[in-house]
Amino acid sequence: MNVELFLSYLTYEKRYSTHTITAYENDLGQFVLFGKQVVEDFHVEQADYHLIRQWIVSLMNEGTKARSVNRKISTLKTFYKFLQREGIITKNPTDHVIKPKMAKKLPEFVQEKEMNLLLDGRYFTDDFEGLRDKAVVSLFYGSGIRLSELVEIRYPELNLADKVVKVKGKRNKERIVPFPTEISSVLSGYIRLRNELFPESLNYLFLTGTGEPAYNKLIYRIVRKHLSLVTTIDQRSPHILRHSYATHLLNRGADLNAIKELLGHANLAATQVYTHTSFEQLKKVYKQAHPRA
């Protein structure tokens, strides 16, 4: 009952995305299942520090990655903090739980020359799907927006004259994001054909081949298909285009705080990972170019 109350709080008060709420629900479900295996007639409100530690150890022994374990711990911390605030429990059993350390993983990104090859070459067809796919890839790389933000763009939220798009990010926070001039012509060509083929579909900007709103898996497949033509990196997703956008801006001298605002990050720490990526790139260039490196 209290799990449902918590999920309702996340949905209606915190207004978290469906994806985030599902992750919370799955994590809590796994913990409850573990608790029932260890404690007879287990109730989630009765969990203590030792049971939570047991769960963490069992996850690590099963080979669960530290990043996933940390997310599950964060779920429990948020859940029990909620129960404490609601007066359902008096002591938070996660207060002294320490997250396992994670190895820092630098974000992958597509090289500038590879992006130029894709966007300037003849990799996109001239039909509806080809124009749409190029508009999708161009807007991702030209604005750094998230997958969830792109699929939710409504037609009126795109301003071709001012070269900006209004998107709704995490916590329903809206921001205005600029995009390069050359993308305007790409978007204009797509929109022209889109409106000819589907004159009644004037709500969402990006559509399927049948005029329905584009969905996450379709956009993911579009990006993966086209990035596979120019790069061999393992990750070929919309998020990699976001990484590429931020890394290339930083490499060309953009201010870190400006990049933070463009990406819609809540704090600078999330943006600073790109400084590490750029530094690694600088070291690589140094080793290749310096005669004594």
Of all residues in the chain, the percent with pLDDT exceeding 90 is 74
DSSP 234: S
Residue 285 has pLDDT above 70, yes or no: no
Please state which CATH class domain 2-85 belongs to. mainly alpha
**Catalytic residue, candidates 72, 146, 236, 243:** 146
Give the C-alpha separation, 114 to 58, whole Å.
43
Residue 101 has pLDDT above 90, yes or no: no
Res. 253 pLDDT band, cuts 50 70 90: confident
pLDDT at 287: 73
248 catalytic, yes or no?
Answer: no
**Catalytic residue, candidates 132, 242, 248, 260:** 242
For residue range 30-72, what is the model confidence (pLDDT) as tens digits? 999 999 999 888 999 989 999 999 999 999 999 998 889 999 9
Structure pTM?
Answer: 0.65
Q: Structural domain boundaries of the chain?
A: 2-85, 112-289
CATH of 112-289, one of 3.30.230.10, 3.40.50.2000, 3.30.70.20, 1.10.443.10: 1.10.443.10
6-19: buried (b, 16+ CB within 10 Å) or exposed (e) per residue?
bbebbeeeeebeee
> How crowded is residue 150: how many other Cβ atoms within 10 Å of its Cβ?
22
For residue range 120-177, what is the model confidence (pLDDT) as tens digits? 999 999 999 999 999 999 999 999 999 999 999 998 999 999 999 999 988 888 999 9
170 catalytic, yes or no?
Answer: yes
**Catalytic residue, candidates 170, 204, 220, 224:** 170
DSSP track, 72-92: HHHHHHHHHHHHHHTTS-SS-
274 catalytic, yes or no?
Answer: yes
As given in the structure block, the two tokens for residue 186 are: 């790409």
CB 49 within 8 A of CB 96: yes
243 catalytic, yes or no?
Answer: no
